[in-house]
Amino acid sequence: MSVYDFTVMDNKGDTVPLTDFSGKVLLIVNTATECGFTPQYEGLQRLYETYHDKGFEILDFPCNQFGRQAPGTDSEIEKFCCSKFHTSFPRFAKIEVNGAHVSPLYVYLKSQQKGVLTPNIKWNFTKFLVDRNGNVIARFAPTDKPESLVKDIERLLGTA
């Protein structure tokens, strides 16, 4: 099993098989627009601009489970991210990453890379790094800034 076995919903309501991203290095992030970590969108966009042409994708999954910090609709979140942070990476429909209605993708991600003390996602901007074969390689805490992932991303892209 790999992340490519999952289908998700984009922020326009269309289903997207993650096989669409086969062969790419992925950074999967649960995000929020009103979080103390929201400025990480700037760093995520810099990573995307630097490595996208080398086979890197960021998959953004807004989540309102932590302090209700992603209160808008999918289209409002898209507008906010594009206008305030000029993001151009794929954004998906709002999901749940813990609890009874957890996204199957996140059940899988958490099973592959457990957090400290518990597999649950503790807050917004938890990041999962996935290799070109769809294997979950690493999990990063919300406090890990996007720029701190450069060496890991370059290693997986073969550019290190």
Distance CA 1, CA 108 (A): 9
Out of 35, 63, 81, 82, the active site residue is 35
Catalytic: 82? no
Distance CA 15, CA 70 (A): 21
Beta strand 56-62 with 136-140: parallel, antiparallel or unpaired? unpaired
What are 149's two structure tokens? 């992932």
- Cβ–Cβ < 8 Å for 32, 66: yes
Which whole-number Å values give the CA distances from 143 to 32, 139, 148, in the listed order?
A: 14, 12, 10
3-state per-residue secondary structure call for 95-122: ECCCCCCCCHHHHHHHHHCCCCCCCCCC
The residues carrying an active-site annotation are: 35
